[in-house]
Structure 1
């Protein structure tokens, strides 16, 4: 088996080729580590899209929906961490080999044709977001895809169903997130198979919808679509509507959805701006360093939270992680207001580079 804490490995593809009867405790721990890495990988590109929306348009439908989707993804990552710790595993989050690197593929070999980048909100980035979330059998725009995130979670759930005795309820963190964005978004303790099944259902259907409907079964607002379909609506600039009942058929023929005004953030090159050959002034370097240090501290606090034996320590570490997360937006948007020196009209943006803890 490829190293499951190596972001560039094909671990998910390899795990999916293991016969179901061999999906034992070790397989499940490896799969859940990859699930955590997948959930983390979605957050930086979605956050860049969100932060690139100018303050004057933060009441727009696109801003509000993207904000809601990011909250969903945060809760999905927390639930994946609880799945791993409930069977006795320890999440690896703050590790240079685990943290996503952009541009590049999703971890584990999922959708190998897809390259994920950090950039402004645009038609290009919305297409990228929707390709991340694409279900195996969408109700619209059906195309052949490689292993989807949903299929991977289905295999994880089947492993739990075949070995429910592995669920011990150890080191479970909880966080009320429904008050911020509706039903199904809390991080809850996973101490039984029923609760694990509910958590996997939330993760899959919030992202992909169901085979019969594009709706999000666990919405923050009435009529909210699953992530894939929301991203496709914004990409097409039209609301998705049912155009036929027999047979049921959907298409992007509804009302127009205008994109908000944005900061024209450029695409972050591999290794960051300086590594990509872009001149970086001392002021820009300070903002980049500030952002990367808050991001790295957040990941370390998250890892410590799920490794803590004492619930009080875990809660304290989670609170510290949230403080670091809140402090990311200001340096990110300062960078998005700073033009690149190449005359393209594009600006800098956050790199989401992991910096090891200082001794």
Structure 2
């Protein structure tokens, strides 16, 4: 099976999951890894928008979301290394590849979700938890196909093609000093490297069958992404309420106040220029475009890094662009909407050439 044309809003991941394991060929694996890269990339803008709307960046909730954003960046880098090590090239730019909001996750994953860009609120925290939700949450009893299930299929297929791993065009970047032992972007030289990386990605996002805790934390008792976002949504810590052979957990712990945040409104389909009541002034439009420019620079630098013999200057360029995105977003989320709602603008994350 081949998915030659990238289309963010296709059902490509659903179609990949429908292929029997014994029928998954080398092209299937390359396609699956490209789609996994697109999934990781799709989570960062909504999470970062919520983070940058929080007024106190040193508060508990801000720190928690920042750690999750860094986890997602690490996951993105690990999967890019997987793809380049088997001879593929990550694609991050161009129509059909860059995430678009509001809309579904790429590839048909969790099609009932509409992912949007906004400031932090209980609604957005709930959305984020839904993006990260595992097949069998410890605190719930629902069953459905998840991002984790897609990674499990990749882990099931990859050993058959372990001989393709070359260790070429790898990016190495240390994040463990500040963000936990599992967060280093490391080369994918062996199938053990690959399977360990996939396990880290799944466990940081979903937890494990035995615990909601992140086994690769940046600080003690850090929860996996799904449970951390659920804590923010419920406004209470998740705690163990029974200590039997099958412990139960519930959101009955200490309160977690929703932090004071700029009420950045949801970005409308097609951007703010498509909202008659809130078309930006020339100055605001220029600031929105400045943000889009930094975002586009970041994507291009990352794409080029995994094609370069010396990737670190390009990684540095991408990091610089993200810093500029943060600064520009800090301006955008303070500009009131003209409609008098009391809400503010939110960055659009448009890719510009």
Give the structure-1-normalised TM-score: 0.96
Structure-1 separation of matches of 2:333 and 2:110: 29
Q: CA RMSD in A?
A: 1.0
- Cα displacement (A) at 1:159: 1.2
Q: Are 1:2 and 1:10, in contact at CA under 8 Å, matched by a contact in 2?
A: no
- Counterpart for residue 8 of structure 2: 7
SS in 2 for 1:318: helix
2:313 counterpart of 1:316 = yes
- Cα displacement (A) at 1:5: 1.5
Structure-2 separation of matches of 1:101 and 1:267: 13
- Counterpart for residue 48 of structure 1: 49
- Cα displacement (A) at 1:2: 4.9
- Cα displacement (A) at 1:113: 0.1
Structural mapping, 1:168-207, within 5 Å:
168-207=166-205
Q: Are 1:4 and 1:30, in contact at CA under 8 Å, matched by a contact in 2?
A: no
Aligned match for 2:352, one of 350, 355, 358: 355
Q: Are 1:209 and 1:215, in contact at CA under 8 Å, matched by a contact in 2?
A: yes
- Counterpart for residue 33 of structure 1: 34
- Counterpart for residue 142 of structure 2: 143
Displaced runs of 4 or more, over 2 A? 1-4, 275-278
Instruction: Give unpaired runs (5+ residues) of structure 1.
Output: none
2:226 counterpart of 1:264 = no
SS in 1 for 2:183: coil
SS in 2 for 1:188: coil
- Counterpart for residue 243 of structure 1: 241
| Greater mean alpha carbon deviation, residues 324-333 or residues 35-44 | 324-333
Structure-1 separation of matches of 2:101 and 2:91: 19
- Cα displacement (A) at 1:8: 0.7
Structure-1 separation of matches of 2:34 and 2:274: 29
Q: Are 2:292 and 2:349, in contact at CA under 8 Å, matched by a contact in 1?
A: yes
- Cα displacement (A) at 1:3: 4.9
- Counterpart for residue 302 of structure 1: 302
- Cα displacement (A) at 1:271: 1.2
| Greater mean alpha carbon deviation, residues 238-247 or residues 131-140 | 238-247
How many pairs are equivalent? Answer: 350
Residues 295-330 of structure 1 deviation map (CA, whole Å, 9 limit, x = unaligned): 00110011000112x1x2x11111111111110012
Residues 28-67 of structure 1 deviation map (CA, whole Å, 9 limit, x = unaligned): 000000000000000000001100100xx22211011100
